[in-house]
Amino acid sequence: MAIYHLSLKNGKKGKAKQHADYISCEGKYEEKSDLRELIEMNIPEQTKNAKSFFAASDRYERKNGRSYRELEISLANELTHEQNKHALLDFIAKTQLRDKPMLIAIHAGKDGNQLHAHIMFSERANADFKMPAFFKRNGSKKDRLLNDKKYLFEMRETWEDSLNNELVAANQPSLVSCKSHAERGLNIKPQPKLGHAAQAMISKGKTSRIQQEIDKIMQENISLRELDEQSLALQLEMQRQNDLRVLEDIAALQRHELEPEPELESKPEPEPELESKPEPAEEAEEEGMVMGMGMGSSSL
């Protein structure tokens, strides 16, 4: 599974040429046989190659200054050499490193399964200055953005994107993240690094205290990971049940909308009763009777 690692280191004046030999597996470091490829970029024309440039940096940088900086980056074992190289160049093109003189060394690690890269670079952009003016205060200016912590976090995110793009293109299921375990909600303890001294002890068959601590943390992380998987499975099941209920509610609503509404029988409204008026003949008869009755009484 691909892992994420990116660290930034500072190089003191007087150490640049030696470090260039180290990552190039040259000089007294020839016995290192894990070098895959060396890449030089933006080296000024005044210097023959990257190592000559960093030797000049050792000589001409100001006292107590930095003659180089270095990014150490883990590559993905799941990718080919060309795919890892493409991710590196994409990362450099998207950051402030794009115009800096640099030496890139891609290593396989002792067992061939610890692929990583060293990006050794100058903070000064490639510019048309002769030596030693290039390294002076009035020469090529140092990029102060590389000292900004916020920008360094952005560089970490950029490497995450560059490497994940290659992993996705290669149809690899596991991706990397620059976030910590805590930020990602993972209940996993960090492991200490196994340094050169501990590795030398192990190679001689001796017991290393750091290795014992790493083994203990690995066992604890296995238990924690099992608990996390159980918790995740429970959360997923609860989410699935909730999704099913939502789908059932939606289906019920859709069925209700599709069913035709029953027609209501319309009852005829009762006609208003009309007042019956007497016929004219009856009215005349009644008037005659009244008049007759009146006349009779007057004759008495």
CA-to-CA dists, residue 58 to 11, 27, 53, 65, 139, angstroms: 10, 17, 9, 9, 16
Q: How many CB atoms lie within 10 A of CB 79?
A: 20
pLDDT for the residue numbered 217: 77
CA-to-CA dists, residue 236 to 53, 228, 244, 267, angstroms: 57, 12, 12, 56
Q: Which of 29, 27, 53, 31 is nearest to 40 (CA)?
A: 53
Q: Is the pLDDT of residue 48 over 80?
A: yes
Q: Is the pLDDT of residue 263 over 70?
A: no
Lowest mean pLDDT among 107-111, 166-170, 260-264: 260-264
Name the more confident of 124 and 181.
Answer: 124
Q: Which two tokens stand for residue 180?
A: 């910590």
Q: Is the pLDDT of residue 192 over 90?
A: no
pLDDT for the residue numbered 172: 92
Q: How far apart are the C-alpha atoms of 120 and 20, rounded to whole Å?
A: 8
Alpha-carbon torsion 11, 135, 14, 119, what sign?
positive
> For the chain, how far is it from start to end, CA to CA, in angstroms?
138
pLDDT category of residue 254 using cuts at 50, 70 and 90: confident
Q: How many CB atoms lie within 10 A of CB 92?
A: 24
Q: Is the pLDDT of residue 92 over 90?
A: yes
pLDDT for the residue numbered 150: 94
pLDDT category of residue 111 using cuts at 50, 70 and 90: confident
Extended beta strands in the chain, E state: 6-12, 35-41, 66-74, 102-107, 116-121
One-letter amino acid for residue 33 of the chain = S
Specify the pTM. 0.66
pLDDT category of residue 124 using cuts at 50, 70 and 90: very high
Q: Is 97 exposed, middle or buried (0-12, 13-18, 19+ CB in 10 A)?
A: buried
One-letter amino acid for residue 198 of the chain = A
**Which residue's entry shows tokens 């209501």?**
264
Q: How far apart are the C-alpha atoms of 78 and 2, rounded to whole Å?
A: 7
Q: Is the pLDDT of residue 28 over 70?
A: yes
Q: Is the pLDDT of residue 292 over 50?
A: no
pLDDT in tens, 218-246: 777 777 666 666 665 666 677 777 777 77
Q: Which of 141, 103, 149, 104 is nearest to 123 (CA)?
A: 141
Q: Is the pLDDT of residue 270 over 90?
A: no
